[in-house]
Structure 1
């Protein structure tokens, strides 16, 4: 058994190493999956075609529309100026005295409204960097600030968030995106509060040491360059070049409101998508035994599609000349994102067939007799191993989701609690150094792991501890 487990750990370690070094997971995930299979004595080609590719293809089938529509929605919000308008207005309203809070809220509003994490980072960064420089806050704190707003409470804690991490559990537990709203809100507020306390503490420490925004940074946005030029010519620290025109804030947020409202309507009202079709027809023609297992995906597809149309209409003149290139970029981004994640899911599917995995699974299941604590541990571990919240969540629920649901039913535990704890746990230790979102965020801001990863990791620890605290409290009652 030791050698079987070692085979898994070696393959996982190698995958983490190459991902950290910037090599594409889509290429190396199958290579290291087959390495683990070979070291464990399994046949290589069947492991690839029947284990790896089957599960990867199933993941693409289930979630590609959400990845694609989410990428298009985010890109259109970027092209029509809505994302920039929202970020600018939040930053302007709160001001430089509360720069960290302004950036966190701007990221949170966009993420909760359905804009993808990567688009949020690109959209908010120019304003965030300019605000940090005006407030003389070290730029190295910026990635952690963006991560708190985009990668935590609005990604998977708050009920109704349209991010994929909140949709995956619905197919396993028969829930919807609004599962366990009270637990999600309480958990989200805890993560937000403790994350803000950490970042503000770091800001005060830097100020006490006389550390400001810093100089010689890479990838400085135009707004910061304008501030530097204005300061050099004696026009004042806060002066800048001619400011761009922004959409009216109420017009800018309209697509986000449409997505959130329609997602709720299609999920939990008399107009829900589960009532659009006859259950007998779905079962006979499409082999759908329980429409509730896929209703959240259908609801989000409808909401995002409508949101895209609204986003296109609110500033059609601005979007018109950019639409072809923007849609191409969105489609390419969606394909890369989902196939990277699908490769990680396929990798996990091969791992779960290996002899050594039974020992790992039993250790996780045996760590606690309560399904919420065991589930939080399993999702956290697998999300950390794969460096992907959605990938680790999918693997954990595919391997152990039915067992957790059976335990919950046997003890009278609501499946909605399983959903919320699993979703929140996926956004815990996924942000280890090899996480794709972390690497992209650092590249956007022009900073390195050495400069800024400490704060990203601290926010991650806050999220992880919050999940286990909630799971522990809920397990008592």
Structure 2
């Protein structure tokens, strides 16, 4: 049994190490999976074609429309200048005295409106650099401010956020994106307040040391102040459309739950319970309306590079979903291996409280894989049925399981090998040595908040 446990641990370690070194997950995930199967004395080809590929394909089938539409929406918001307009208005409106807060809020509004994290970083950075320079705040604090606004509470805690980390749990717990709204809002307030206090503490430290914005930086943006950006209220309209219609199609009389006859869905499409698809259908419809709204408002700007931009969006969506699907395939193969039962026993029994146990497993796997969606998907593929069963026995709502799982995915995922962290530092022209300390502090804060919420929620169920 020791060798079989070692096989799984080795495969996970290699996945983390090779991903950190920049090797493509879509290739290394099946490779380390087959290594684990080989060392466990399993069957290589059946494990690959019938377990790995089958589950990876199922994941693509379930979530590709959201990945694709999210990428297109972000790209259209970028091309139209809407994302830049929103960032510019918020940053300039709050002014240099509130430079950190303005950057955080700009990122938060864009992320909660459905714009992808990477587009947010690209859109906000030029304005963040300009206002930090005006306020003479060290440039090295910009990644921390962007990470707080885009990588934390608006990604997975605020109810209704259309980011994928809030969609994945709906398929496992039969919930929607507004699951456990009070818990999500409380967690968001703690993370936002704590993150702002940390960044303000770091700003005051820099003032005492008489450290200004700094010189000799690379990737300094050339902000075109003469560029005509769309009106703020028109720019923000597509975000409002996504947020409003996602709610309407999820939780009102126009819910996607009633769009089709239940008997037809069951007989013709083999959908026994439509509740598992309501969140996906709602978001697909809302993002589609958001894209159409953004294109209608700025068609002259968008049409110039529409074909090439759609190609880039599609390529990015394909790479993102196949990377995550490969990690899901890995998780499904691992749970068939003999050594997994022992590992599962230790993880599941990390706490008698399923919320705490879930937070541990999702956090650890997200940290190992360097991916919030990847770690979340692996954990729920493997453990969701046990968590749901235990939760039912203890009277814990599936909505709480959803919110804790979603928030936990955005905890330790931002370790140094995380792709979003590496991309953010590349965009800003900074290094891990210069700026990762602030990202890590926010990571620790988010992780601690998840466990605080998980333990606190247990007293009210």
**Could you say whether these structures have the same fold, taking a TM-score greater than 0.5 normalized by the shorter chain as the test?**
yes
Asked if residue 297 in structure 1 is aligned to residue 296 in structure 2, the reply is no
Contact 2:331 2:381 in 1 (8 A): no
Mapping 1:170-189, distance limit 5 Å? 170-189=170-189
Q: Check 1:326–1:42 CA distance in 2 against 1; reply closer, same or farther (3 A cut).
A: same
Counterpart mapping for 1:266-285 below 5 A = 266-285=249-268
Q: 2:98 is matched with which residue?
A: 98
Instruction: State the partner residue of 1:381.
Output: 364
Question: How far did residue 247 of structure 1 move?
Answer: 1.1
The DSSP-based 3-state class of the residue aligned with 1:167 is helix
Question: Which runs of 5 or more structure 1 residues have no equivalent in the other structure?
Answer: 224-240
- Equivalent residue for 1:428? 411
Q: Distance in 2 between matches of 1:375 and 1:289?
A: 27
Matched, 1:70 2:70: yes
Moved more, 166-175 or 100-109: 166-175
Tell me whether 1:340 sits opposite 2:310 in the alignment: no
Counterparts of 1:61-460 in structure 2, within 5 Å, are 61-223=61-223, 242-460=225-443
SS in structure 1 of the partner of residue 339 of structure 2 = helix
CA distance in 2, matches of 1:388, 1:170: 18
Residues paired across the two proteins, number: 460
1:3 corresponds in structure 2 to: 3
- The CA deviation at 1:266 is 0.4
SS in 2 for 1:442: helix
Aligned equivalents of 2:4 and 2:212: distance in 1? 51
SS in 2 for 1:222: coil
Contact 2:331 2:382 in 1 (8 A): no
Q: CA deviation at 1:476?
A: 2.2
Deviates more, 1:284-293 or 1:214-223: 214-223
**How many angstroms apart in 1 are the aligned matches of 2:281 and 2:252?**
14
Query: Distance in 2 between the 1:48 and 1:450 partners?
Result: 40
Which residue is equivalent to 2:30? 30
Give CA deviations for 1:293-343 in whole Å, capped at 9, x if unaligned: 110000000000011000001111111111111111111111111111111
CA separation of 1:242 and 1:277: change in aligned 2, threshold 3 A: closer
Matches of 2:193 and 2:145, distance apart in 1: 13
Q: Which deviations, in whole Å up to 9, do the C-alpha atoms of 1:408-428 show, x marking residues without a partner?
A: 211211111111111101111
Q: Decide which moves more: 392-401 or 254-263.
A: 392-401
- Structure 1 distance, partners of 2:106, 2:204, is 22
1:257-315 Cα distance to aligned partner (Å, 9 max, x none): 00001000100111111101000000000000100011000000000001100000111
C-alpha separation in 1, matches of 2:407 and 2:143:
20
Deviation for aligned residue 1:202? 1.2
Q: Partners of 1:34 and 1:259 in 2: how far apart?
A: 41
TM-score (norm 2): 0.98
TM-score relative to the length of structure 1: 0.95
